[in-house]
Amino acid sequence: MTARTPIVRWIDQEAPTATAAASFASDLEFEAVGFKAGGKRILDEVSIWAESGQVLCLLGPSGSGKTSLLRIAAGIERPTSGRVLIGGTAVAGPEGFVPPERRGVGLMFQDFALFPHMTILDNVRFGLRPLGASHAHSAALAALERVGLRAAAADYPHTLSGGEQQRVALARALTPRPRVLLMDEPFSGLDSRLKDVIRTDTLQILRETGSTAIVVTHDAEEAMRMGDRIALLRDGRLVQAGTAHELYRRPASLFAAGFFSELNVLAGTVRGGRVECPLGTVAASPRSDGTPVKIGLRLNGLRLAVDGSGVPARVLSRRFLGSVDLLTLAVDGADRPLRARIRPSELGEGVDEIVVSVDPQEIFVFEDTDGSI
C-alpha cells in the first residue's frame, strides 16, 4: 500500500485541548513506523491511516504489533523510525515528540479502568475538570444519556454489569471530544452473549459522535463488524489493509485468507495454465508449468453430493453444529483429511461415499515458496 504524502506540521504544545462542546475528529496516520524494544524489532515500516470519522481495526495474532501501534499513537511509546500524524500534523517523528496529554487522544482499555471509589457520573466527568463544575456536570450527564445510563449516574462501578461498565468507559473516553479514540481489545472482557449488542451500541455511538477510532482486536469477525477499514498485521509488519470485503475476497496471502476463515490447505501444481490438486483442476493460473502452489479452500467451498461430477471421497465423521454440519472427509492424494461445512439438509444421514467438487469463489492460490502445507 502506498502511503499518502501529508503536509507535515508540528503541534504547538501550548495549544488548547478539545472540549466537550465541539468535535475535533481527525485523520490519524502511521508513516513508515518502526519500533524496537529490548533490542527486538516490534514494528517494521508500518504505513496505515484512518480517515476522519472512520473506524480502523488493527487486526492480528498476539505479538503482531497491534498494541505497540496503539501505544505509539497515544504517545506512551516513541517510534524508533517513521512518523505519526494526527490531522496532518506530526506528533512523533525524527524532528520531535508531542507528549500524550497534548495530542487530543482518548484511551479505552480492556479492563475499562473505572475508578471504583467514584460514582459513575464522577468517572465520566473526571477528564472535564478544566471546563468548570457546572459545564462538566452537564456534559457528563449528556454522555451518560447517550449510552443509556443516565439513571445510574449516582451508582458505583461494582454495581454495574460488564456491558454497562464498558458503556461508562466509552462515555468517559468520548466526553472530552478527543481527536482520535484508541480502543485496546475493548470487548475482550465481555460475556460472548453481550458482545454483539455492545459492539453494535458502541459503533452507533461512534457514528453519532463522528469519532475517529482505532480498535485493536485479534477477532476477524469483530474487525469486520466494526471497521470501515482493517489493517492486518503479522510479526510487526503490515500484511494487508483495506475494507472487510477486500481482505475477505482478495486476500494477499495464505495467512490473510486463513485469518478470516478456516481453510483446507492443499498442495497443487500448475499445468497448462491450470492448477491441479487432489480435488482435480480447480483454478486458472498465469504461472509457468510445474510451479508448486498452495491452495486455500474455505470449508464452505466444498460441494458434496452422493453422485455427479467431482472426485470420490469418504465421510470420516460428521458433527451437528446447529445451523451447519461439520464433516471430515478422506480424499485420495490429500495429505490430510479435508473439512467441510454444509447445511444439515444438504446430505442425507448415514451417507459415507460421496463426490466432492469445489466452489471457485472460495479458492485462493498462492505460490509455494517453502514447500510446506
**Cα dihedral value 76, 128, 188, 41, nearest 10:** -10
Answer yes or no: are the C-beta atoms of 162 and 191 closer than 8 Å.
Answer: yes
**Model confidence pLDDT, tens digit, residues 332-356:** 999 999 999 999 988 988 899 999 9
DSSP lists the bridge partners of residue 116 as none
**Model confidence pLDDT, tens digit, residues 126-164:** 878 666 788 888 888 988 988 889 999 999 999 998 888
Q: How far apart are CA 245 and CA 237, in angstroms?
A: 21
b or e along 130-141 (b: 16 or more beta carbons within 10 Å of the residue's beta carbon)? ebeeeebbebbe
Q: Taking 70 as the threshold, does the pLDDT of residue 4 lie above it? A: no
Q: Are strands 229-234 and 55-59 parallel, antiparallel or unpaired?
A: parallel
229: which residues sit within 8 A by CB, 6+ positions away?
50, 51, 54, 55, 56, 57, 241, 242, 243
Angle between the 133-146 and 162-174 helix axes, to the nearest 10 degrees? 130
Q: How far apart are CA 92 and CA 77, in angstroms?
A: 10
**Model confidence pLDDT, tens digit, residues 265-289:** 999 999 999 999 999 999 989 899 9
Residue 362 grid coordinates: 472460495
Sorting pLDDT into bands at 50, 70 and 90, what band is 170? confident
Cell 495530542 -> residue: 103
Tell me, what amino acid is at 298? R
Return the HEC string of 33-64.
EEEEECCEEEEEEEEEEECCCCEEEEECCCCC
Q: What is the DSSP letter of 287?
A: S
322: which residues sit within 8 A by CB, 6+ positions away?
none
Answer yes or no: are the C-beta atoms of 254 and 240 closer than 8 Å.
Answer: no
**Model confidence pLDDT, tens digit, residues 314-330:** 999 999 999 999 999 99
Q: H helices of the chain, where?
A: 66-74, 120-124, 133-146, 162-174, 192-209, 220-226, 244-249, 254-260
Domain 9-254 has CATH 3.40.50.300: yes
Burial of 203 (0-12, 13-18, 19+ CB in 10 A): middle
Q: What is the DSSP letter of 218?
A: S
Q: Taking 50 as the threshold, does the pLDDT of residue 52 lie above it? A: yes
At residue 308, the pLDDT reads 87
Q: How far apart are CA 336 and CA 324, in angstroms?
A: 22
> How large a percentage of the chain has pLDDT more than 70?
92
Sorting pLDDT into bands at 50, 70 and 90, what band is 373? low
For CATH 3.40.50.300, the residue range(s) in the chain are 9-254
**Model confidence pLDDT, tens digit, residues 175-222:** 888 889 999 988 887 777 778 888 888 898 888 888 899 999 999 999
**DSSP, residue by residue, 79-125:** -SEEEEEETTEEEEETTEE--GGGTTEEEE-TT----TTS-HHHHHT
**Model confidence pLDDT, tens digit, residues 59-104:** 999 999 999 999 999 999 999 999 999 999 999 999 889 999 889 8
Q: Taking 90 as the threshold, does the pLDDT of residue 241 lie above it? A: yes
- Give φ, ψ of 264 to 5 degrees: -90, 135
Answer yes or no: are the C-beta atoms of 118 and 129 closer than 8 Å.
Answer: no
Q: How far apart are CA 236 and CA 68, in angstroms?
A: 9
Higher pLDDT, 8 or 241: 241
